[in-house]
């Protein structure tokens, strides 16, 4: 009898523990949010059926609408059967924010004058000795190079021309750089490098420069009262995908005079030109994961007579919406889209929604979402709900969007209330941790199962191909694409000037089986450092990774080069003389084909 009672007791205890451990799943299944933001006077009601009940902070049951008359934060408890606490709902009543939607094409300048130094590098002199002229001169990444020997700089190609013209006569050159708000005069000794391939020996400083024109994008919104603006919807990165610190950048008016049509594996783009720097529309003071933000010098022409409300993330719904962008000249046009997925976000996060283009004219003229549309405002039911951020490389009719709520907060608009500390510490601490670990384990299992299923059922594999970094060698890239397609692969060719971030995103979006990296200008080691780690962080750390080309500067023993790149995470490393037919059989073997 005692054993039966003991078993029953243990069973009840285990059942209670299981029930408590699955609380987060009950909450998710019922659709109970952890936090809601509303405007003053906005109707808010949670439709919960018994046995779920909601109580306010005084213990009174809420059976109708929440109190949203006054600004501030209130905490409500959700109970099971009226006594078992499940979770809490935080309701923030915040001021209504109205902005003018954008849609204007803009050019982004990283610096109003000079050239930004993205990184420092090594220079091999004529004897093969490694030299670090920029580092030894006291230059740091992030500095803005203003002039060389009194010659002001506007374009990256000026630097090489000036150095090689001046270094023949002067051993030491004077550089003027800006670091934060300070102007520094530094002396540097250019190094005569050894010849590389067919290139002649040249004088180098050991610096990597960013083009001051970061590209064409779209303004997302602006506030007429404060002059604050937001644009792009994503961070501005350097050629290796790292976020840039923009100290004195600006946006200028851009005119679109052509469209490169987008297709599967080859994103399209807007072709345009910038107006002069003297016509700056505004100054950039922030470069974040939600875009660039700053203050306008002059208000742009708007497609709207009045500002529109900014929707909260939880107000965005699946269904029809519209985007505003420029396809020709400076004329802002409206196009139909469909929001096909909304991510439940109660805290700022990228890629809050997936948008599909449904407008027949936009599909006909662009193929869908193209480069240069980043930042195009998304409106739904008369409210600004988000901005276009990225295109699906393998399906340009679809792309990601960020919620407008997070963007206006980044711009310094609206009032973000402090959320009081929650009382159910054990649930939020322990059970939330259990939930995350469980989700991660399930996700890994599903990914493994899917990958195995693909490997057993499909012989045609997907390769992501591209030339990394600031390299613009395009001929070999096209040869590889043709060779891989003839060998039966599906190829997603990113082209030249590809960043690490673009390789990772393309591999995730296309469920690729391998990434093929080319580098032909000698700086591959710098460009690929951290790529494997980025793939691991994205959840595809086991993807096959190949690299080939002129990977280092100067003549080095190939076995040492191969070892170096294998340590960087590459599965196969090939010298520049390798032909496609030499390694495609190996690739098929590695993929189990």
Burial of 109 (0-12, 13-18, 19+ CB in 10 A): buried
Is the separation of the CB atoms in 275 and 254 below 8 Å? yes
Q: Which of 92, 111, 234, 527 is catalytic?
A: 234
Element (H, E) at 506: helix 500-510
Between CA 575 and CA 569 the distance in angstroms is: 17
Angle among Cα 382, 387, 389 to the nearest 5 degrees reads 160
For this structure, is 234 an active site residue? yes
- Give strand pairing partners of 258: 271
Instruction: For 434, list phi and psi in degrees, rounded to 5.
Output: -60, -40
d(CA 323, CA 332): 10
Q: Of these residues, 239, 250, 302, 374, which one is catalytic?
A: 374
Both tokens of 208, joined, read: 């990597």
Strand order in the sheet with 514-518: 490-493, 462-467, 514-518, 544-548, 572-574
How far from the centroid of its chain's Cα atoms is residue 80's Cα?
41
- Alpha-carbon dihedral sign for residues 358, 364, 368, 369: negative
Q: What is the DSSP string of 17-50?
A: HHHHHTHHHHHHHHT--SEEEE-TT--------T
> What ranges make up the beta strands (E) of 519-593?
544-548, 572-574
Q: Which two tokens stand for residue 540?
A: 């595809």
Residues 6+ apart with CB under 8 A from 344: 33, 314
Q: Is 119 a catalytic residue?
A: no
- 534 contacts: CB under 8 Å, gap ≥ 6: 241, 500, 501, 504
| Distance between CA atoms of residues 584 and 576, nearest Å | 15
Active-site position among 223, 359, 471, 513? 359
In the numeric block, the tokens 């080859």 are attached to: 266
C-alpha 233/C-alpha 219 separation (Å) is 9
Query: At which residue do the structure tokens 């130094």 appear?
Result: 117
User: In the annotation, is 47 catalytic?
Assistant: no
Distance CA 77, CA 95 (A): 24
Distances (CA, A) of 485 to 164, 202, 463, 466, 482: 43, 38, 10, 15, 5
Token pair, residue 261, equals 């049509």
Phi–psi pair at 171, nearest 5 degrees: -75, -35
CA distance 95 to 92: 10
286 conformational bin, left if phi > 0, alpha if psi -120 to 50, beta if neither: beta
Residues catalogued as catalytic: 234, 359, 374
């Amino acid at each position: 009898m005692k054993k039966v009672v003991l078993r029953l007791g243990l069973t009840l205890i285990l059942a209670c523990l299981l029930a408590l451990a699955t609380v987060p799943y009950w909450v998710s299944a019922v659709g109970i949010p952890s936090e809601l933001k509303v405007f003053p006077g906005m109707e808010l009601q949670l439709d919960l059926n018994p046995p779920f009940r909601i109580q306010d902070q005084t213990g009174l049951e809420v059976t109708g609408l929440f109190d949203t008359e006054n600004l501030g934060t209130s905490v409500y408890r959700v109970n099971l059967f009226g006594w078992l606490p499940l979770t809490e709902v935080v309701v923030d009543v915040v001021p209504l924010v109205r902005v003018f939607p954008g849609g204007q094409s803009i050019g982004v300048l990283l610096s109003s004058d000079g050239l930004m130094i993205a990184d420092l590098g090594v220079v091999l002199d004529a004897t093969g000795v490694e030299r670090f002229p920029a580092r030894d001169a006291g230059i740091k990444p992030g500095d803005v190079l203003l002039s060389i020997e009194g010659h002001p700089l506007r374009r990256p190609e000026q630097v090489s021309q000036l150095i090689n013209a001046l270094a023949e006569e002067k051993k030491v050159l004077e550089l003027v750089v800006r670091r934060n708000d300070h102007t520094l005069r530094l002396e540097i000794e250019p190094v005569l490098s050894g010849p590389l391939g067919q290139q002649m020996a040249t004088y180098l400083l050991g610096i990597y420069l960013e083009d001051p024109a970061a590209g064409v994008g779209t303004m997302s919104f602006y506030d007429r009262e404060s002059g604050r603006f937001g644009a792009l919807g994503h961070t501005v990165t350097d050629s290796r995908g790292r976020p840039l610190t923009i100290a004195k950048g600006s946006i200028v008016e851009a005119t679109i005079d052509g469209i490169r049509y987008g297709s599967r594996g080859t994103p399209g783009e807007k072709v345009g030109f910038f107006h002069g720097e003297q016509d700056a529309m505004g100054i950039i003071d922030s470069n974040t994961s939600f875009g660039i933000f700053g203050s306008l010098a002059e208000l742009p022409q708007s497609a709207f007579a009045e500002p529109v409300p900014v929707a909260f993330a939880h107000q965005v719904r699946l269904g029809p919406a519209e985007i505003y962008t420029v396809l020709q000249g400076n004329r802002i046009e409206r196009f139909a889209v469909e929001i096909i997925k909304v991510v439940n976000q109660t805290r700022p996060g990228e890629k809050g929604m997936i948008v599909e283009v449904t407008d027949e004219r936009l599909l006909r003229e662009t193929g869908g979402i193209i480069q240069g549309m980043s930042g195009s405002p998304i409106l739904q039911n008369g409210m600004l709900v988000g901005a276009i951020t990225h295109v699906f490389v393998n399906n340009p009719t679809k792309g990601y969007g960020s919620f407008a709520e997070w963007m206006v907060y980044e711009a310094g608009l609206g009032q973000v209330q402090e959320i009081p500390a929650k009382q159910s510490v054990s649930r939020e601490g322990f059970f939330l941790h259990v939930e995350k670990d469980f989700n991660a384990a399930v996700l890994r299992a599903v990914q493994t199962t899917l990958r195995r299923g693909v490997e057993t059922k499909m012989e045609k594999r997907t390769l992501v191909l591209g030339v990394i970094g600031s390299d613009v060698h395009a001929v070999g890239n096209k040869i590889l694409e043709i060779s891989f397609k003839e060998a039966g692969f599906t190829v997603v060719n990113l082209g030249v000037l590809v960043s690490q971030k673009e390789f990772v995103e393309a591999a995730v979006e296309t469920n690729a089986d391998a990434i093929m990296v080319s580098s032909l200008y000698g700086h591959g080691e710098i460009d690929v450092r951290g790529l494997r780690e980025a793939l691991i962080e994205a959840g595809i750390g086991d993807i096959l990774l190949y690299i080939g080309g002129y990977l280092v500067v100067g003549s080095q023993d190939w076995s040492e080069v191969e070892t170096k790149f294998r340590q960087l995470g590459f599965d196969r490393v090939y010298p520049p003389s390798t032909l496609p037919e030499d390694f495609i059989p190996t690739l098929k073997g590695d993929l189990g084909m």
